[in-house]
Amino acid sequence: MARPDPIPAYEDNYIWLLRDGPATLVVDPGDAAPVIARLGKTRPTAILITHHHWDHIDGVPELHARWPDVPIFAPDDPRIPIATQRVSDGDVVEIGPWRFEAIAVPGHTQTQVAYSGEGLVFCGDSMFSLGCGRLFEGTPAQMLDSLDRLAALPGDTLLCCTHEYTAANARFALAVEPGNTALEQRAAQVASLRANNAATLPSTIDSERACNPFLRVDSPEILQSLAKHLGHPPEGRVEAFAALRSWKDGFR
Ligand code: ZN
Ligand code: FE
């Protein structure tokens, strides 16, 4: 199976590349130059877009101008006018040898989709390693539901997130669940990867289930931390998730 390759862009973005023989998939090209450089003499087979934010789509016009016949898959959102194919929840996207299913993952934005298949998931800014996207447009209940859907994928699924936020996320995760030994190990691994300027991604769904506090709002230790932070125990998973998300928003 082809291993997805993260191309660094801007401050902390990753544009994902997947290759198998002549087939090449480009996901969330926020910038064209690093993609064109990496493609060399080859061309993309298709472009996938998870959501409308500039750091995920600003490279698309230049790629489209260069390869006008390459299909551009994106959620049905007028803020992504350049798309040639619209996808919504449950749609199957077939590209070269690959087959992906679109999963609606609202929360960070209303129309965000993840593309799941071939043992991996391109999840945009919905889930990050040890974290999740900020709630710019959706509600905590929506985001929690989106994360639950991603967390239900097979444990060995490779999680291809679009930002290198893992080290900062690890600091918050350790603050809310200091007794989690799997998290401690992941944090140490992340520190050594970052010390070598290496990507901490892809992660796996198994690792996130064990370490990511936003998938662990049922953990007794996290509930205890939240009760301390809020001054009262959260009532139910949605309140726990909402409290965790807003705590993280202000965490430095
Ligand atoms: Zn975003
Ligand atoms: Fe982003």
Pairwise CA distance, residues 152 & 138, whole Å: 20
Which residues does residue 8 pair with via DSSP β-bridges, in sequence order? 14
Sequence-distant (≥ 6) Cβ neighbours of residue 219 within 8 angstroms: 177, 180, 213
pLDDT at 130 (0 to 100): 98
* Beta strands across the sheet bearing 46-48: 5-9, 13-20, 23-27, 46-48, 72-75, 85-87
Ligand lying nearest the CA atom of residue 30: 2
Ligand lying nearest the CA atom of residue 53: 1
pLDDT tens per residue, range 87-104: 999 999 999 999 999 999
Domain boundaries, the chain: 5-169+200-214
Q: What is the pLDDT along the chain (252 residues), one digit of tens a residue?
A: 668 999 999 999 999 999 999 999 999 999 999 999 999 999 999 999 999 999 999 999 999 999 999 999 999 999 999 999 999 999 999 999 999 999 999 999 999 999 999 999 999 999 999 999 999 999 999 999 999 999 999 999 999 999 999 999 999 999 999 999 999 999 999 999 999 999 999 999 999 999 999 999 999 999 999 999 999 999 999 999 999 999 999 998
Ligand lying nearest the CA atom of residue 134: 1
> How many whole angstroms from 91 Cα to the centroid of ligand 2?
23
Q: Is 76 helix (H, G, I), strand (E, B) or coil?
A: coil
pLDDT at 1 (0 to 100): 61
> How many whole angstroms from 174 Cα to the centroid of ligand 2?
23
pLDDT tens per residue, range 17-47: 999 999 999 999 999 999 999 999 999 999 9
> How many whole angstroms from 134 Cα to the centroid of ligand 2?
10
Full-model pTM = 0.97
> How many whole angstroms from 178 Cα to the centroid of ligand 2?
28
> How many whole angstroms from 57 Cα to the centroid of ligand 2?
10
pLDDT at 3 (0 to 100): 81
> How many whole angstroms from 51 Cα to the centroid of ligand 1?
7
CA atoms within 13 A on the CB side of 216: 27
Residue ranges with CB less than 5 Å from ion ligand 2: 53, 55, 125
Other Cβ atoms closer than 10 A to 23: 16
> How many whole angstroms from 228 Cα to the centroid of ligand 2?
31
> Which CATH architecture fits 5-169+200-214?
4-Layer Sandwich (3.60)
Pairwise CA distance, residues 88 & 111, whole Å: 9
